[in-house]
């Protein structure tokens, strides 16, 4: 199989891995952002939290920086409860750490924590959602389980609250409606984001990155024979 084309400076985890395989010297550090957003859903806005990891470092001494959204949490049934979102974010983050380390890239494997988060919400122990992620269903399909997934893509705007400012951003996200043993479960992934005020070229770059990440997931679905609809952002 041909190596996927990579961007330099890197825009995502796959770029770091491809550049390392091509012989470049890669340095990686990551820090966390847990930002509150105001989302519009059917004309009814609600509060949610996005869990980001900001990756920065150097490729052959040249600095780079990008961030990746790992989960979204809220107290509504529109997305997982915050406590579950933290665990889901960490599982996806651990997968990326494993991929980086397998490629020979050293990284400090620090994770998201619940500290300071659950104090914003009442405990809802009887309303916990499943913490299964797409990797779990891929593994189950590999073992012979019948898995089907319907994919709905969404571009949604949100006001992201940083420490000293608010910024309107566009998020390229997907809802994976998984059917297994006649039960349904929603997995959500944010593939990329950009500022709403960005130039068209930057928005297109964020959309292309989202499609690249989606294509990698579809390759995995194909390998384990998961039935799904192939959807890309346009």
What's the whole-number average pLDDT of the chain? 83
Which of residues 99, 121, 143 is at a domain's end?
Answer: 121
Question: Is 127 contained in some domain?
Answer: no
| DSSP code for 195 | E
pLDDT of residue 20: 95
**8 Å CB contact between 160 and 37:** yes
Residues 89, 8 share a domain: yes
- Looking at residues 180-191, what average pLDDT do you find? 87
Give the end of a domain, one of 121, 141, 163. 121
Q: First and final CA of the chain: distance in angstroms?
A: 26
Q: Work out whether strand 44-59 and strand 166-180 pair parallel, antiparallel, or are unpaired.
A: unpaired
User: Residue 74's pLDDT is what?
Assistant: 74
> Could you tell me if 105 and 7 lie in one domain?
yes
CB contact set of 153 (below 8 Å; sequence gap of 6+):
172, 173, 174, 231, 232, 233
Question: pLDDT grade, residue 87 (50/70/90)?
Answer: confident
Global pTM reads 0.70
Which structure tokens are listed for 85? 């979102």
Query: Do residues 8 and 56 share a domain?
Result: yes
Residue 223 has pLDDT above 90, yes or no: yes
* Within-domain flag for 15: yes
Tokens encoding 48 = 């949610």
Q: Is 231 helix (H, G, I), strand (E, B) or coil?
A: coil
pLDDT per position as a tens digit, 105-148: 999 998 887 765 554 444 433 434 567 889 999 999 999 999 99
Task: Tell me the per-residue pLDDT of 28-72, one tens digit each, with 9 for 90 and over.
Answer: 999 888 777 766 655 566 677 788 899 999 999 999 999 898 888
126 domain residue, yes or no:
no
Q: What is the extent of the structural domain holding 17? A: 1-121
Q: Which helix (H) or strand (E) holds 212?
A: helix 200-223
On whether both 12 and 106 belong to a single domain, the answer is: yes
- The residue from 95, 121, 147 where one domain ends is 121
The token pair that represents 150 in the structure block: 């319907």
- What's the rounded Cα separation, in Å, for the pair 15 and 61? 16
């Amino acid at each position: 199989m041909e190596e996927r084309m990579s961007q330099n400076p890197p825009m995502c985890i796959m770029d770091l891995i491809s550049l390392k395989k091509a012989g470049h010297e890669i340095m990686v550090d990551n820090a966390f952002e847990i930002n509150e957003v105001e989302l519009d859903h059917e004309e009814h806005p609600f509060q949610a939290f996005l869990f980001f990891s900001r990756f920065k470092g150097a490729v052959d001494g040249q600095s780079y920086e990008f961030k990746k959204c790992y989960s979204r949490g809220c107290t509504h049934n529109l997305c997982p409860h915050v406590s579950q979102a933290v665990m889901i974010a960490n599982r996806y983050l651990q997968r990326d750490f494993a991929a980086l380390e397998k490629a020979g890239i050293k990284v400090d494997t620090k994770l998201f924590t619940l500290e300071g988060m659950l104090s914003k919400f009442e405990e809802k122990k009887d309303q916990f959602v499943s913490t299964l992620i797409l990797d779990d269903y891929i593994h189950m399909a590999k073992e012979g389980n019948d898995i089907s997934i319907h994919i709905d893509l969404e571009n949604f705007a949100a006001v992201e609250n940083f420490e000293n400012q608010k910024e309107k951003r566009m998020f390229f996200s997907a809802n994976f409606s998984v059917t297994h043993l006649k039960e349904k479960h929603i997995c959500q992934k944010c593939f990329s984001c950009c500022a709403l005020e960005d130039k068209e070229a930057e928005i297109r770059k964020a959309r292309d990155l989202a499609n690249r990440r989606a294509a990698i997931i579809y390759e995995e679905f194909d390998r384990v024979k998961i039935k799904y609809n192939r959807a890309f952002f346009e």
